[in-house]
Amino acid sequence: MSEQKQQPQSNGRRVVIVGAGMAGVQTAVALREQGFTGPVVLIGAEPHQPYDRPPLSKAVLLGKAEGSAFDIDFTALGIDLRLGVEVTGLRPADHEVDTETGPVPYDVLVVATGAYPLTLPGSEGVPGVHLLRTLDDAVRLGPVLERRHAVVVVGAGWIGAEFATAAREAGCDVTVVEAADRPLAGALPAEVTAPMGAWYTASGADLRLHARVRRVEEGRVVLDGPDGTTAELPADAVVVGIGARPATDWLAGSGAALDPSGALTADDRLRTSLPDVYAVGDCASFPSARYGERLLVHHWDNALQGPRTVAADILGGAPEPYDPVPYFWSEQFGRFVQYAGHHGAADTLLWRGDPADATWSVLWLRGETPVALLAVGRPRDLAQGRRLIERRTPVDPARAADPSVPLKAAVR
């Protein structure tokens, strides 16, 4: 990747931000907070006022809130907000973004287009099949819950679990089908996620593992059986939650470097391979010196933190590389699940408590240094463990494995 040449700070430069989700909005706000007074254009594909996504699978879905718009006065901040505008291409040589309403010139471009949910092959256009990514998705799914329909959820990942939780709370019959042998198979190790299967059963949801969808038809889902037979599930509605892919297709032909996932390959200041172009949030991967690998983090906290680095670099150079301790949370089946760090490079896993209990934690170590922590109903563990991870503080493994010992008291 070729490095960008740092331009002198100039508030006369025009910054265009493509994507009006958390990452895009926070980039615009961070620019103003850090003293940028030049023109800022924020382009969003959806017609709605920019909004926060986590409430969509909770309060908005259950009808407890009408929306989750950010409480930001874009006019007062001098941000040119352009909504309902689809971006169709990028011409870096001309410093222009193409949109359906015409080209938009930029001096600095920030790509914050997020990710789009994967669809189930063959399900496109089938009545009753839903995704849960946007405000419109949540609004369409509201009546499904209100009518207490029989729902089949495809995928036992984070979104699948959160939707199943809301659907059970609303009184729906819920069946969750997962091709893997456990929930969250792509996110966490088997020994950690296997106990979570009991959460579905306790909530009244029917979790079916090793279940592959053969096809989806109106009113039913057909599964492949283990012996070549098929099984049918009645389904008034089908909700697909099988992952997401960075929304970077519109960059085809621009010359932007992408990684195998389709994410823009940003550097440690979130600069892309193209001059004057940054990438932030779900659409960008970045190198982590902390973990020794490139990370792609599809979570809210990354979309909140990255914009500060982008804004600082636009204004004259970020003081430190972008190398956060990833963090996310999920509310599912009456439990508050939090995760900090990245366990891929760990060589030791320590249990803090019994996973059959209501609260427990798992701590990953590299040597004696914490690199990741999963906390179920133990927010103090998360808070203390996150600080230890950030500071690379070694711990005594024996004490760290004792759930009665605060993690901060396990420090070497």
Residue 405: inside a domain: yes
Domain boundary among 240, 255, 290: 240
Report the pLDDT value the prediction gives residue 43, as an integer from 0 to 100: 98
Rounded Cα gap, residues 276 and 107, in angstroms? 7
User: What is the pLDDT averaged over residues 15-32?
Assistant: 98
The CATH number of the domain holding residue 145 is 3.50.50.60
In this structure, are 281 and 310 located in the same domain? yes
Distance CA 287, CA 6 (A): 19
Q: Which of 218, 240, 262 is the last residue of a domain?
A: 240
Residue 145 belongs to some domain of the structure: yes
Query: Is 136 in the same domain as 108?
Result: no
Indicate if 278 and 309 belong to the same structural domain.
yes
Q: Structural domain of residue 181, as residue ranges?
A: 119-240
Are residues 249 and 111 both part of a single domain? yes
Domain identity same for 199 and 262 = no
Residues 163 and 211 in one domain: yes
Q: In angstroms, what CA-CA distances link 245 with 119, 169, 187, 207, 249?
A: 10, 29, 15, 25, 10
- Token representation of residue 175: 């069946």
> Tell me, what CATH number does 372's domain have?
3.30.390.30
* Whether residue 138 is found in the same domain as residue 224: yes
Please count the structural domains in the chain. 3
What is the mean predicted confidence (pLDDT) over 325-337? 95
Radius of gyration of the chain (CA): 22
Quote the pLDDT of residue 2. Answer: 36
How distant, in Å, are the alpha carbons of 131, 188, 321, 351 from that of 195? 27, 12, 37, 13
Does residue 4 sit within a domain?
no
Report the relative pairing of strands 369-376 and 335-341 from DSSP bridges. Answer: antiparallel
**Residue 299 · residue 325 · CB < 8 Å:** no
Q: Average pLDDT in the 270-296 region?
A: 97
For residues 86 and 178, membership in a common domain is answered with no
pLDDT digits (tens, 9 = 90+) for 48-65: 999 998 888 888 888 888
pLDDT tier for residue 66 given thresholds of 50, 70 and 90: confident
Residues 232 and 126 in one domain: yes
Q: Do 106 and 187 fall into the same domain?
A: no
